[in-house]
Structure formats: C-alpha cells, structure tokens
Amino acid sequence: MSITRRQALALLCAGVSPLAISHAARADFDGPVVRALEGGEDFWLAQDAYIYGYPLVTMEMTRRVMTNVAKLEGTRGPMGQFVKLRKYPDASFKDVTAPNADTLYTTAWIDVGDEPWVLSMPDMKERYFLFPMLDGWTNVFQVPGKRTTGTKAQTYAITGPGWKGTLPAGVKEYKSPTSIVWILGRIYCTGTAEDYAAVHAAQDEFRLVPLGAYGKSYAPASGKVDASLDMKTAVRDQVNRMDAAAYFTLLAQLMKRNPPAPADAAEVAKFAKIGLVPGKDFDTSKFDAAFAKRVPQVAFDRIMLQYKVNNAIRNVNGWAFDGEAGTYGTNYLNRALVTAIGLGANRIQDACYPTSQKDDDDKDYLGSNKYVMRFPKGQLPPVAGFWSLTMYDENYFFVANPINRQSISARQNLKSNPDGSVELYIQKDSPGPDKESNWLPAPAGKFILMLRMYWPNEKSPSIINGSWKPPPVRKVTSS
C-alpha cells in the first residue's frame, strides 16, 4: 500500500524520531504515523485491512440508505428501480459527498449475484450523457455514454461474476466483478424549464428489468424498509463511527458475494492473521479487541493524508486531481481516498475533478475573504463535454446561498473582460449586479472548490497530458 509503512519507517531510518519531527510536520504525522508505529505489526495489518475494505463497506452502507424506501421518493428508490432526479440537488442533499449540480442523476442499485439485469437506453439525440457502472469496490467496470458508445439506443445485460448463459439478440453483456452494482447515470442539463422537460422525457425512457422479465410486461416490487437504519446521518459518518470488529464483520459478509479481484490475492491473504478471510465469517478470536476503536481512527487519518503523499494525485497551481480515479488497480489507499471525498468518481477520460482546498498563498479558503479565479483569453477548461466550478463546505457538501447556485459554468452566460479574459468571483456576498453572472457564492466559514471537466480533451490543450493547467485562485487584497 502507498501514509505507508515504508514512508513512516523512512522517517526513522533517516534518523528522525517521532519526537524529533518538527512542529509543522507533526501536524501531519502525529496521528497516522506515530500512533501506527506504536501499535505493532498486527495493528498495521488491521489498518491495511480497514483501508482495503473501506470502499466496499461504504458502498454497502450507501446502498442501504439510498434504497431503504417502499417506493421512489426524491433521491431514493428501491433496489432495481431508477431514481430520476428532476432538478439539481440543493444544499440539503447529503446522500453522497461531492455531488454535482450540472447533470440530472439517473441512478439505480442492482444485485446481479443471482440473475442478470437488462438496461435499455433510449436514443439520446446527441445529448451528452454517461452511465458508469461501479462494482462493489468502486471500480468503474463499464461506462456507456456519448464518449464511448454514442447516443443511439442501446441495450446491455449486466451479469454477475459467476453467471454463464445465453442473452437475447441485440443485448450486449457487461460482466460485473461483484454482485453489487451501482449505475450512476448522469445526463447534462442546462437547467432551463425547456431543457428540464427534455431531459425528464429521456429519463423516463430508460428501462431496467431482471433478465427473466426482459421483453415481457414487468412491474417492480415494492421495496423493503428497515426501520432500524439511520436515514439522517451522512453515510461517511456512519462508516467512520463503526468500531473495527463490527466493520470487519460486515466486510467479511460482503466479500462472500463481492469477491476481491484476482490481483488482490497476495494482499488479502495477509488479513487471515486477524481473522478476515474471503468467503468466511469474520473470526473475532484472531482480532485484538484493544484495536476496536483505534484502528478506524488511524486508518482514516492515513486515507486522508493521501492527499499529500499519493503519487496518483497531481498538484498544480493549488489544484489537486486524481489521475487514476475510477480504475484503481492495487492502489488501495487511493481507492479509499476517492471513496471518502468523492464516491462515484468517473474515469479521468470521462471526468477530471481538480480540487482546491487553499488559495494561491496556501491559506485556507474563508468566506470572510474575496477570491478571483482568472482564465486568460481562450483558456477556459478544454473539454468535449462541459465544465463547471462547484462550491462545497469543508465536508464536501453543498452550501446554502441566496441565489441557490452550487456551481458556475458557461451556462451562466459568463461575462468577459475587455481583454477577453474571464474572471470568476468567489465570495460570500454578491460582487454587484454587473458581476453576478460570474459569482460563485461561498459560505461564511471554510470551503473547498472543485473544477469539473467532463470528457476532457486528450490532445493538447489537455489537463490529462498537462498541456493545460487550471489557473490559481487568488485572494483579493484591499488595494
């Protein structure tokens, strides 16, 4: 895994003891390094197992909350039924971190462990859309959409890891590595009444049925409601507050129908020492109960520290983005990081998410300040799909504001300066009527910015190859 043991131990091998680490460095390393070094080998192993399983546990907890209804209700719907968001999410939306306010989500959870499900997609008439399919480990295993499969009508059978059989003519197989599948469809919408209506009509043409019902009359059953589920607390908080024993018990249960990838075999084999074996219940007799509270705390510290030490993260002009999101291979820490701050992230070829937590002076963003992001003439984000700049609070949730604007993009009819440049005004209060088209409202406290680039150019200018870079965000001084 890549903080890793090797990185932590390198500090010591270099003659730097935990007690001698500088005050500034200790702000980063006291938790994830010092506490972990003090815990011993089994403590490290339990952390590794926690980090490895973080995406699967989070996906399951997200699935439970989002499907725990008897019928379609707002952002939630029973298993096997499309939830069709009819408007952009607002500041009350807390089902997933870092939601977007540029597309209308059309999503569904299915279990393909026993039977395949058939997805029928209508002719989208050249409209930008994508329907990534995530397995239980958050890998995007297929992504039909305008970039990959075009906009004509198309039909797919999503099959489980052990399924073998014959499909009807005209139905293409997409094999999922796990039983859990999250279809996280996104359809671009400008937000006007006319465009809302057009997207709503398209959403209503998507069909999802079990293979046995394909081509037949089908009415989905009512969902099963578990009254004991916490439907108010954010999923990430629910996962993070689980003690390690409960966490590993659930993880072991989930791995029975959502097996680790073949490439994970060597890593997973190590976890048998603490009682975690794929296909079996968690053996609590092999787990040190003293770790129950400490493991989640330290492991999550290591996950979030990846923002600073992860080789998959590229940093430029105060913006950081993951060049390997959506397909993680054996980079389990990176996979856990994306799960924690942006569950459901796409592959970089479909969407890039440069994120900024500090301004050009390396200071936290604060709503008490005013900031400007300036794009020189002809240098707006280069994409074949669309781009936007989204505002989040410090926990990656939307921010309530007087104009209900969660993101800003070309659809706001941005005004250019006389020299052709475009400036975005990022602040709590309105910059004035003449500049409100370019205003992204901020909260009173700390905030985070995310630049979404859907279908980024792969040839220059391109953020993928580094020939285009997002400009810095600068604090406006009194002068």
**Integer Cα distance of 352 and 357 in angstroms:** 16
Least confidently predicted of 23-37, 38-52, 145-159, 454-468: 23-37
Q: Taking the model in full, what pTM does it have?
A: 0.85
- The reported pLDDT for the residue numbered 155 is 98
Torsion sign over Cα 61, 65, 69, 73: negative
Q: Is 338 helix (H, G, I), strand (E, B) or coil?
A: helix
Report the mean per-residue pLDDT for the chain: 90
Is residue 233 scored above 60 in pLDDT?
Answer: yes
pLDDT at 14 over 70: no
User: In the predicted model, what is the mean pLDDT of residues 172-200?
Assistant: 96
Mean pLDDT over residues 280-286, rounded? 96
Mean pLDDT of 119-123: 98
pLDDT tens digit sequence for 395-428: 889 999 999 999 999 989 999 999 999 999 999 9
pLDDT at 38: 53
Q: Given this model, what pLDDT does residue 88 score?
A: 84
Domain boundaries, the chain: 5-61+236-311, 79-213, 354-475
Other beta carbons less than 10 A from residue 454's beta carbon: 26
Write down the CATH number for the domain with range 79-213: 2.60.40.1610
Query: For residue 342, is pLDDT > 90?
Result: no
Asked if pLDDT for residue 249 goes beyond 80, the answer is yes
430: which residues sit within 8 A by CB, 6+ positions away? 402, 436, 439
Environment class of 19 (CB within 10 Å of its CB; exposed 0-12, middle 13-18, buried 19+) = exposed
**How does residue 311 score in pLDDT terms, banded at 50, 70 and 90?**
confident
What per-residue string of b and e applies to 65-76 under the rule 16 or more CB within 10 Å gives b? bbbbbeeeeebb
**pLDDT tier at 92, thresholds 50, 70, 90:** confident
Indicate the pLDDT class of residue 16, thresholds 50, 70 and 90.
very low
**Token digits for 220?**
């989905």
- Whole-number pLDDT of residue 312: 87
CB contact at 8 A, 47 and 36:
yes
Q: Which residues lie closer than 8 Å to 237 by C-beta, 6 or more apart?
A: none
Q: pLDDT tier at 90 (50, 70, 90 boundaries)?
A: confident
Mind giving me the DSSP string for 20-40? GS-HHHHHHHIIIIIIHHHH-
Select from 2.60.40.1120, 2.60.120.10, 2.60.120.1600, 3.30.450.40 the CATH code of 354-475. Answer: 2.60.120.1600
Confidence category of residue 275, pLDDT binned at 50, 70, 90: very high
426: three-class secondary structure by DSSP: strand
Query: Which one has a higher pLDDT value, 111 or 37?
Result: 111
Look at the block and give the residue holding tokens 């440049």: 421
In the predicted structure, residue 146 carries a pLDDT above the cut 80 = yes
Domains 79-213 and 354-475 share a fold: no
Say how far apart CA 138 and CA 339 lie, in whole Å.
Answer: 8
Say what the pLDDT of residue 99 is: 83
